[in-house]
Amino acid sequence: MTLRTLDSLGSLAGKRVIVRCDLNVPLKDGAITDDGRIRASLPTLNTLINQGARVIVCSHLGRPEGAPDERYSLAPVAQRLSELLGKPVAFARDTVGESAQEAAAGLDDGDIAVIENLRFNPGETSKDAGEREAFARQLASLGDVLVSDGFGVVHRKQASVYELAQLVPSAAGLLIATELDVLDRLTENPQRPYTVVLGGSKVSDKLGVIEHLLPRVDRLLIGGGMLFTFLKAEGYNVGSSLLEEDQLDTVRGYLAAARERGVDIVLPTDVVVAEKFAADAAHEVVAASAIEETRFGTSGIGLDIGPETARTFADAVRSSKTVFWNGPMGVFEFPAFAGGTKAVAQALTEVDGLSVVGGGDSAAAVRQLGFHDDQFGHISTGGGASLEFLEGKKLPGLEVLGWS
């Protein structure tokens, strides 16, 4: 089977097209702080608008508890979408109620509306398939076809992603098609050298990716909070740094497997150790073997890779033909501990080949640090979905669109 794409739906002029986007953007005091996911949805939305479709956009935002919560309203998203499209965007104050029905019915060819946060309805994320299907049927009443374009949720069995796609003619949008093309290039005959950079807080979040990619990559660079579990597995003391004791044997197994396969697992040679977890914490750079030998003793906490490691990682990235990066190298939200993440991001912009930022915190980091999306080969909109794809898992939101 192959993925059903927009072409499979035929002419959409005059049809009511439900578009499941992922517009789960960060908000602060009601203002959007990163509109990357909204901008990523534009190619599909503009294509449908230009075809004369009547577009009904749905998405989730945050984690409301299955009931309306003004903090998670999609109203600011609808406003930003209007600005980016350069045309009015109607906004429904509910998901499938009177306001949504009126918004859908009031559309003319080429018009667009956004309905309220799907997760305001408990049926969207219910663990009961019957409850999800009941909500999906209500959503289906709004439109004639579904274009699924929220890559960040295709690894979830949720009503708007899975059940709805079985109730009406459905196909993937341009964003999902692009994401899959890039991920396919990362797993099937990638150009070499192929380097994967993994960071973030926990090794346990990346176990499947490491296991699945070890036979495929040339180099694996380890940063972020997870680096301390690797260092501990190699016999180093790590002070009060983040550590997953229960993963030490697993990590030792990966290190041994990498050696057997000739894969170069590159661990930090120096780290930035701080007195405490705070933006203004006193800190110093020490060798990875001397984390407890700072003036902070055993209470010191590692918050970034050191400058020597940053240079080593950057050189490895720049010399690669294919690079996938998921997870910051340190606490990039604090300027004093953003150096490693910035060095890796800069190196990715200089890759002569395919450079992929794997969504989530990595995408937020590159934008916060002043980089632009077009400086990278691809910035994924789905951190969790990307990782599960690279783990070789089946993603229900793709399978229901014919992907296998």
Q: Which residue numbers belong to the known binding site for substrate? A: 22-24, 37, 60-63, 119, 156
Question: Tokens 């990523």, residue?
Answer: 40
Q: Which residue numbers belong to the known binding site? A: 22-24, 37, 60-63, 119, 156, 206, 302, 333, 359-362
**φ, ψ for residue 342 (rounded to 5)?**
-65, -40
Please identify which of the residues 239, 306, 327, 360 carries the catalytic annotation.
360
- Taking the C-alpha atoms of residue 289 and residue 66, their distance in angstroms, rounded to an integer, is 48
DSSP classification of residue 235: T
HSE of 159 in the Cβ direction (CA atoms, 13 Å)?
30
Examine the residue annotation and report whether 52 is marked as an active-site residue of this protein.
Answer: no
Please identify which of the residues 202, 216, 252, 276 carries the catalytic annotation.
202
Examine the residue annotation and report whether 202 is marked as an active-site residue of this protein.
Answer: yes
Alpha-carbon 316 to chain mean position? 23
Asked whether 174 and 200 are in contact (CB, 8 A), the reply is: no
- Taking the C-alpha atoms of residue 305 and residue 268, their distance in angstroms, rounded to an integer, is 6
- Taking the C-alpha atoms of residue 45 and residue 147, their distance in angstroms, rounded to an integer, is 10
Examine the residue annotation and report whether 37 is marked as an active-site residue of this protein.
Answer: yes
- Taking the C-alpha atoms of residue 54 and residue 29, their distance in angstroms, rounded to an integer, is 32
Closest by Cα among 295, 258, 256 to 273 = 295
Q: Which residue numbers belong to the known binding site for ATP? A: 206, 302, 333, 359-362
Please identify which of the residues 4, 16, 20, 37 carries the catalytic annotation.
37
Examine the residue annotation and report whether 110 is marked as an active-site residue of this protein.
Answer: no
Can you give the three-state secondary structure of 270-335, one letter per residue? Answer: EEEEECCCCCCCCEEEEEHHHHHHCCCHHHCEEEEECHHHHHHHHHHHHCCCEEEEECCCCCCCCH
Residue 71: CB atoms within 10 A of its CB come to 9
Query: Catalytic positions, please?
Result: 37, 202, 360, 384
